[in-house]
Structure formats: structure tokens, C-alpha cells
Amino acid sequence: MMTCIMLVNAERQQIASVAEQLAAMSHVSEVYSVSGQYDLVAVIQVSGPEALSALVTHALAAVNGIVRTETMLSLRTYRKQDLDTMFDIGTS
Amino acid sequence: MMTCIMLVNAERQQIASVAEQLAAMSHVSEVYSVSGQYDLVAVIQVSGPEALSALVTHALAAVNGIVRTETMLSLRTYRKQDLDTMFDIGTS
Amino acid sequence: MMTCIMLVNAERQQIASVAEQLAAMSHVSEVYSVSGQYDLVAVIQVSGPEALSALVTHALAAVNGIVRTETMLSLRTYRKQDLDTMFDIGTS
Amino acid sequence: MMTCIMLVNAERQQIASVAEQLAAMSHVSEVYSVSGQYDLVAVIQVSGPEALSALVTHALAAVNGIVRTETMLSLRTYRKQDLDTMFDIGTS
Amino acid sequence: MMTCIMLVNAERQQIASVAEQLAAMSHVSEVYSVSGQYDLVAVIQVSGPEALSALVTHALAAVNGIVRTETMLSLRTYRKQDLDTMFDIGTS
Amino acid sequence: MMTCIMLVNAERQQIASVAEQLAAMSHVSEVYSVSGQYDLVAVIQVSGPEALSALVTHALAAVNGIVRTETMLSLRTYRKQDLDTMFDIGTS
Amino acid sequence: MMTCIMLVNAERQQIASVAEQLAAMSHVSEVYSVSGQYDLVAVIQVSGPEALSALVTHALAAVNGIVRTETMLSLRTYRKQDLDTMFDIGTS
Amino acid sequence: MMTCIMLVNAERQQIASVAEQLAAMSHVSEVYSVSGQYDLVAVIQVSGPEALSALVTHALAAVNGIVRTETMLSLRTYRKQDLDTMFDIGTS
Amino acid sequence: MMTCIMLVNAERQQIASVAEQLAAMSHVSEVYSVSGQYDLVAVIQVSGPEALSALVTHALAAVNGIVRTETMLSLRTYRKQDLDTMFDIGTS
Amino acid sequence: MMTCIMLVNAERQQIASVAEQLAAMSHVSEVYSVSGQYDLVAVIQVSGPEALSALVTHALAAVNGIVRTETMLSLRTYRKQDLDTMFDIGTS
């Protein structure tokens, strides 16, 4: 599994609806509305690059109200101890 | 509890060591090295603004190799079902 | 209580009306029209992140004439003596 | 009296000390450490432009740890009712 | 009196007309079309912040063709000899 | 004569001294310390491009404390009534 | 032959279609959808500057959905062993 | 004579037509379509600032397809030997 | 295999040596020196995120002369005909 | 022959010396000191990409005082009539 963190800017009037549309997507585990220069941060879990491509170029393309996205691939996780939690990218 | 997502740029030679120093901090739950214009994304859990202030102005100030940080307060979580996991900002 | 400082860019013709709409909001204590690259600075007092989320994604979304906002959470106040004044974030 | 709002970026290790040095200055009423791309927001009250010039080019010049400042003149205050509070720029 | 210097970007087809509309305003003493990243520089004389606020949020709001303005308050003048009038560089 | 308006960023500790060094130069008529993202605005009068080149590459090069300059050539002046001298805004 | 690498930003809903239109062009050898601030990277092979000019100002101009392109001329290739063809990384 | 170099961004579909409209102008000696973040570079020869003002605010304003221009005044030419060529800004 | 495209800015005096150091790395297939705002473009082939993390945080950290890198994960390849190898553009 | 236009930012104290060092280079036909955000514009004539690579990574690397360069390849020239002048990229 590949974890990605996506920074999202949305139309001001559609921040909540964009968050809900993203959160409803199968590959999206969490979406946070945040303070600062971005509006949302989405945590994405995909099988690999092609799955991420399909998500970006097709699923996200259908979401109304997104102004801009910037996807960061999570390369390695650093944490005190291995938690079997949401961010757990445990292998299948 | 307040969840914050911190975008971090680090000195090129110290990305791994900065990630480890951050992950060792009590208020930091996860740190991800990422592709793109930022180097690390840290997930922070604090009791409130004052605790975040102490973390930023004291604990982080002692971490060698940080070039720049930008802290985003997580305002609200949107996800399919409420998981009692890492990002769970549930009280108690 | 959580104090936030919001930098606002507004449509040129609607700076005054945006300022008035913001100032009328319950969580907004002051709004200043300012010189420089921003148009307005709003001082916000909310109970916590969720209240700020509701303000940003719903109340602000209804204000016509806002081009862009950037919300900064006030982490800690530094001042000569504790005044029981507007910016007082005295604990309950 | 003229109210100014100053956005400040400080050296990471000196955010707290810069905040304290600013707050100790006679013309500075409040200093907030904040989340986001800036580190501090200072609220300044001066008699006029010349006093602000003296503050910026002399008093601030002596503060160690400031990386960059951007001063915004407050042109007009918009708030629900006139409070005789910290931000009160009541006429002499 | 307070002197301000306003950097102006205008619609390409309306640089001249914006310059003329600004120059006709009572508080505007000179307007220069300039090379570089800005289109116009306007020199403004106002009694104080509130007058500047009225100019920015009302008079300027009515000028067609302005894309963006950035107002700088002149804090102090430095020149070889003190001339009675502001910006007086009368040739011998 | 050619009028130029130069935007100047200076070292924080040397804003006043840079302003004084510039104001002492023969081709510089006025220097203003200003609020906002720039520190100084200098008004320059030169005979033509070569004189401006000499000013920028030699005279200014010798001024300690300048971080960055951006020179704008004034193309045309727009003002209510045509005054003999450049920048003459003498009050009645 | 001249190799160019073109960074492309496309309308969110048209990333895939822009990629396909580019890949179908004779001078375009590969197009990659990518993570990060750009959407696509196109590898272009042309006989010289004039051919690149025709591609940019005519062929690309006809592609719907391109927001912005930035073309970089490849000056020199550095790789472990000299392969006959440009970009040949055939696996064992 | 004054030589200016103008950096031009044009609508993607109108790069060639903008180049041709500019090249047809009396004061424009050459126009180059270029790679990189700008689309065109125009070399302009004018008698002085007022002529440049007329060119920018009137002639260029009539050219369809220009998104943004940034004009740089050539202050001084440095070259191996004085060539009686296009860029020759020789006195009358 | 995962293909990544890395944009690199290098110290001016070390562009060639950085290119050679990168090209010598096992996971780097090609490095191009390029015109424009970046200095080099490196094509990288890794087994997955962890391998990319090791490359970025360790191998690249040891390369002298790199100022900044921005890594883009290639999500999907679009090209006229499916060639056996990644980036194979062998002429007939 | 390939014509390139290079935008150069130089150390403030070394603008003239950088211009002279560049103008002395065989492939550089003209160098202009300019107003605005750049300091110099150099016109370069090279046989092809490899010659430009040698110029950028070796000859320019030896020039003291250059802060940053951005090279634009001239794709096509648009001018009223073909002049056999400096910018003439006429085929041999």
C-alpha cells in the first residue's frame, strides 16, 4: 500500500462539500479542514502509482469545488512505536 | 485534544535525523518523509494553543536541521466512519 | 476560548461591506481595514477548532466579496500586564 | 493615535525572546505567537508616522532574532459596539 | 498630513484612464506610469488613517480598471535640505 | 531629465543609514521610509539611461546595508495642474 | 535532434485528455502524469528551435485544457553508459 | 534613443499573433518567441520615456492576446566591439 | 518499479559535478542539464516509497552542491505505442 | 546557430564586472544592464545545446558575482524585415 498526503485548496463556499465528497471515496481514509494557506488535507491509501493516477485524473476530476491539489507521496513513516492505527500502512 | 498538521522543510543532509527527533517528542504521533516541495509532514496532538506554543517555541527550537515549519490546526475531521485510531481526536 | 487572527483579501469594491459583514458575526470581535498586501485583519474568538471550522466553512462562506482568507491561531499572548480587555483570552 | 498590526518572522530558536522584547516596548500593546506562515503578530499604538519610523528603524533594529517584518497601518475599525478596550484607538 | 505611496496594477487597456481618474482625486497629488512589474505609482496626501480608509474603500473602489493596489505609508522623509513643500524638487 | 522611483529593501539595522546615504547622493531628490513589504522609496532624477547605470552599478554599489533594489522608470506624469517642476505639490 | 522537457499544468478535469492529445503528437515521445505542483511532464524531440516554436505556438495552442507550460531545453545528458537512443533505460 | 527589453506573457493560442502584431510596430525592432516562463521577448527603441509611455498605454493596449508585460530599460550596453547592428543604440 | 522525475537546483559552480554524481547512482537512469529555472532533471527508478526515501534522505544527502530538489512521482505513462522498456524512444 | 537570452541577477557590488566578464566571452554578443527585477540581459549565440551546456556549466561557473541565471532559448524571430544584424540567426 502507498500512503499519500494531499493538500487541497477549495472554493470558499464549497470547503465542507469538497471534504465530504473526498471522505466518501474508497481510497481516502481521512480529510481534515485546516487553518493556514490550504483548506483541506486528505490522507490517501492506494495500491500504487496507477491507482493514484486514476484517483487524481478521474475520481478527483469529478469533485466540484476543488481549486488546486498538491499530492505528496509518503516515503517513510517515523513514529515512536508501531501502532495498528489509521495511519498504519501495514502490508496486506 | 487539538490535532495539528505541520509541514516541515529540513536541511537536505538532516531530513532523517529531524524526522527521528520529531517522532520522539511526546506530542508528535507520526512523521512522514514526503515527495514534493516539503520534506516532512508531522501529525501533532496537543491539549490546546498554549501547549502548541510551548512545542513550537521551545521543543522544536531545539531540533537541529529544521529550515522552516508551517503549522496547520485541524479544524474538523471528515471520514467514512468513526475509527478509534491514531487520528481519533476523541477525548479521554 | 481560542483567539484567531484572520488575514483577508476582498474584492476592491466590497472591502467596507465585507468588513461590516464580518464585524456583525458573533465570533468576530474586531475587523480592521489595513494598508499593505492584505485588505482586512479580523480578530476572532471561538470555543475551539470545531467552532472555527463552522465559522470558516459556513458563516464566512456566506459573505460576498471575500477573495481569500488565511487564519492564524493565536498560540500565546505576550504583553506588559494582563488587561481585562478585548484581547483578553482569560480562562473560564 | 495610530494603530498598526505588524507581521513578524523570527529565527526559529528566538520566537519567544523576540515576542518578549517586542511586548516590553512602550508602543507595543500585544504580541501573539501564531500558527501559519508568520511567527508573531504585534499590535502597535503610535502617535503618528514619525513615531512609527522611530520604532521600526531604531527600536526594532535593536531586537535580536527578527528575520522580517511587514507593518500594516490600521485605517478603520469595524466592530459591533465601541469598547473602551485594548484596541480602542479613541481620539485624544 | 500623512503621505502615502500607492503601487497600482491596472488592466492593460486602462492604464492611462486609471492614471487620469486617480490624478483627478483631491487627495492624489501625482500619478506616474512606470516600467517594471507595477503600472502606476500614486502619491497621496491625507489627513490621517480614516481619510485614507475612505479613499481606499470608497473613492478608489469606484475607479474602473484597477486590478490591485498596495498602499505604503511614508514614515519619514530623508532629503538634502528641508523644503517647505512635500516632494518639492524645483530646479534652480 | 528622467525620473525614476526605486523600491529598496535594506538590512533591518541599517534602514535609517541607507536612507541617509541615498538622500546625500546628487541624483536622489527624496527618500521615504515606508510601511509594507519595502523599506524605502527613493525618487531619482538623472539625465538618461547611462547616468542611471552609473548610479546603480557604482554609487549604489558603495552603499552598505542595501539588500535589494528595483528601479522603475517614470514614463509619464499625470496631475491636476501642470507645475513647472517635477514632483512639485506645494500646498497653497 | 534537440530534446526538451515540458512541465505542464492542466485543467483538473482534463489531465488525462491533455496527456493523450500530447502523446499523440509526432514530436512528443512520452507524457507522464506526476504528483506535486505540476500535472504532466512531456518529453519532446525536435530538429531545432524553429520546430519547437511551431510545436509550442501552433500544435500545443490547439490542445484544450492546458493552463500553463514551461519548456526546458535539455543541454546535455549524463548517464552511466552511453545508450544509442535518447532515454533508453531498458531493464536487463 | 532608449532601448528597452520587454518580457511578455501571451494567451497560449495567440503567442504567434501577438509576436507578429508587436513586430509590426514602428518602435519594435525584434520579437523572439522563447522557452521558459515567458513567451516572448521584444526589443524596443524609443526616443524617451514619454514615447515608451505612449507605446505601453496605447499601442500595446490595442494588441489582443497579451496577458502581462514587464518592461526593462536598458541602461548600458557591454560588448566586445561596437557593431553597427540592430542593438546599436548609437547616438543620432 | 516506480519512476520519479526530480527537478534539481545546484550551486552554479557544481552543476556538472552534481549531474555526474547523480548519474553514477544505481537508481538514477538519466540526468539532463536544462535551460530555465531548474538546473537538472533526473529520472529515477526505484522499487517503492521506502527505496525512494533511502535515496533522498541518504544517497542524495551525500551529494555536494545540491541546493534544492523536488521529486515528482510518475503516476502513469502516456505514449503512442507501448514499448517494452520505460522511456524507450528508440528511433526505428 | 542558436540564439539564447539569459536573465541574470548579480551581486549588487559586481553588476558592472559581471557584465564585462560576460561580454568578453566568445559566445556572448551583447550584455545590457537593465532596470527592474533583473540586473543584466545577455544575448548568446551558440552552435547547439551542448555548446550552451559548456557555457553554462563551465564558462559562467567561473564568473564571480553571479547570483542567478535563467536561460531562454530563442525559438523564432519575428521582425519587419530581415536585417543582417547582430540578432541575425541566419543559417551559415
Domains defined for chain G, CATH in brackets: 2-73 (3.30.70.920)
SS3 sequence of chain B: CEEEEEEEEECHHHHHHHHHHHHCCCCEEEEEEECCCCCEEEEEEECCHHHHHHHHHHHHHHCCCEEEEEEEEEEEEECCCCCCCCCCCCCC
**Residue G79: pLDDT band with limits 50, 70, 90:** confident
**pLDDT score for E79:** 81
Q: Which residues contact F85 (CB under 8 A, 6 or more apart)?
A: E88, E89, E90, E91
State phi, psi for I23 to the nearest 5 degrees.
Answer: -60, -25
**C-beta separation of A25 from A59 below 8 A:** yes
Among D50, D46, D42, smallest CA distance to D70 is for D42
Give yes or no for a contact between H31 and F57, defined as CB atoms under 8 angstroms apart.
no
Chains that touch C (3 or more CB pairs under 8 A): A, B, D, E, F
Taking 50 as the pLDDT cut, the residues of chain F under it are 82-92
Q: List beta partners, residue H76.
A: J33
User: Which pLDDT score, from 0 to 100, does residue C84 have?
Assistant: 39
Per-residue confidence at B21, pLDDT binned at 50, 70, 90? very high
Residue in D with minimal Cα distance to F16:
D57
Residue E23 corresponds to which amino acid?
A
CA gap J34, F71 in Å, rounded: 9
Share the mean pLDDT of chain G: 88
A88, B57, C63, I42, J79 from J52: Cα distances, Å: 49, 48, 54, 19, 25
Helices (H) and strands (E) in chain E, counts: 2, 4
> CB–CB of A36 and C71 under 8 A?
yes
pLDDT at C27 (0 to 100): 94
Following CA atoms A34, A39, A45, A47 in sequence, which dihedral angle do they give, to the nearest 10 degrees?
-160
Within 10 angstroms of residue J36's Cβ, the number of other Cβ atoms is: 21
Cα B16 to chain centroid distance, Å, stands at 15
Chain A CB within 8 Å of residue I73 CB: yes
User: Any bridge partners for residue D24, and if so which?
Assistant: none
Tell whether I39 lies on the interface with H, counting CB pairs under 8 A: no
Query: Rounded to whole angstroms, how far apart are CA atoms E68 and E38?
Result: 10
Query: What angle is formed at CA B83 by the lines to CA B79 and CA B84, rounded to 5 degrees?
Result: 145
| DSSP code for D17 | H
Query: Residue H88 burial (CB < 10 Å; 0-12/13-18/19+)?
Result: middle
Q: Considering only CB atoms, which chain B residues are within 8 Å of G37?
A: 36-37
Residue B10 is predicted with a pLDDT of 97
CA distances from D5 to D8, D44, D52, I81 (A): 10, 6, 11, 60
The arithmetic mean of pLDDT across residues I64-92, rounded, is 73
Q: How far apart are CA H8 and CA G57, in angstroms?
A: 14
Q: For residues D7 and D69, give the distance between their C-alpha atoms in angstroms, rounded to a whole number.
A: 6
What mean pLDDT do residues G51-65 have? 94
Test I70 with B16 for CB contact under 8 angstroms: no
The β-bridge relationship of strands C28-34 and B40-46 is unpaired
| Chosen from F3, F57, F76 to mutate, greatest number of chain H CBs within 10 A | F76
Q: Is the pLDDT of residue G48 over 50?
A: yes
Closest CA to G41 of A57, I4, A67: I4
d(CA F9, CA F22): 13
Burial class, I90, CB count within 10 angstroms (exposed 0-12 / middle 13-18 / buried 19+): middle
Scored b (16 or more CB within 10 A) or e, F11-36 reads ebebbbbbbebbbebebbbbbbbbbb
CA dist., res. F41 & res. F33, Å (int): 7
Window from A6-10, A83-87, G61-65, H66-70 with minimum mean pLDDT? A83-87
G61 confidence band (pLDDT: 50, 70, 90): very high
Q: How confident is the model at residue E81 (pLDDT cuts 50, 70, 90)?
A: low
Output the nine-digit C-alpha cell for B32: 512522514
Strand partners, C38: none
Q: Which of A53, A74, A75 sits opposite I75 (nearest CB)?
A: A53
User: Cα–chain-centroid distance for residue E65?
Assistant: 15
Which amino acid is it at H38?
Y
- Gap between the terminal Cα atoms of chain G: 27
Contact between chains at I73 and G3 (C-beta distance less than 8 A): no
Q: Give the Cα separation of G38 and D28 in Å (integer).
A: 43
Is any Cβ of chain H less than 8 angstroms from the Cβ of I37? yes
Are the Cβ atoms of I75 and A2 closer than 8 angstroms? no
Which tens digit of pLDDT belongs to each residue from B24-76?
999 999 999 999 999 999 999 999 999 999 999 999 999 999 999 999 999 99
How do residues A38-79 score in pLDDT, each as one tens digit?
999 999 999 999 999 999 999 999 999 999 999 999 999 998
DSSP per position, G46-92? ESSHHHHHHIIIIIGGG-TTEEEEEEEEEEEEE-SS--SSTT-----
How far apart (Å, rounded) are the C-alpha atoms in residues I58 and I74?
Answer: 21
Mean pLDDT of G9-27: 95
d(CA C70, CA A38): 8
D11-32 in b/e form (b: 16+ CB < 10 A) is: ebebbbbbbebbbebebbbbbb
The answer to whether the CB of J3 falls within 8 A of the CB of J78 is no
Kindly tell me if the per-residue pLDDT of H78 is higher than 50.
Answer: yes
User: For residue G35, what is the nearest residue in chain B, using CA coordinates?
Assistant: B36
In contact, B70 and B6? CB cutoff 8 Å: yes
CB contact under 8 A, C37 and F37: yes
Residues of chain J with pLDDT under 70: 81-92
Q: pLDDT at position C28, please?
A: 95
Q: What is the pLDDT of residues F31-41, one digit of tens each?
A: 999 999 999 99
CB neighbour list of residue J62: distance below 8 Å, 6 or more residues apart: I13
Predicted confidence (pLDDT) per residue in A10-40, tens digit = 999 999 999 999 999 999 999 999 999 999 9
| pLDDT (mean) for C37-59 | 95
Mean pLDDT of E60-70: 95
With contact defined as beta carbons under 8 Å apart, do F55 and F27 qualify? yes
**Grid cell locating I35:** 535551460
Q: Is the sign of the CA dihedral F31, F34, F40, F44 positive or negative? A: negative
**Rounded average pLDDT over I17-22:** 96
φ, ψ of residue F42 to 5 degrees: the values are -110, 135
Asked if H32 has any chain I CB less than 8 Å from its own CB, the reply is no
Residue C71 C-alpha, separation from nearest chain A C-alpha, in angstroms: 5
Q: How confident is the model over E40-45, as a mean pLDDT? A: 97
Measured in angstroms, the CA of B1 and the nearest CA of chain C are apart by 10
Given an 8 Å threshold on Cβ–Cβ distance, is E36 in contact with H4?
no
Q: Quick one: average pLDDT of C27-37?
A: 95
Size of interface G-J (CB pairs under 8 A): 33
Q: How many CB pairs under 8 A join E and H?
A: 26
Q: Both ends of chain A: CA-CA distance in Å?
A: 8
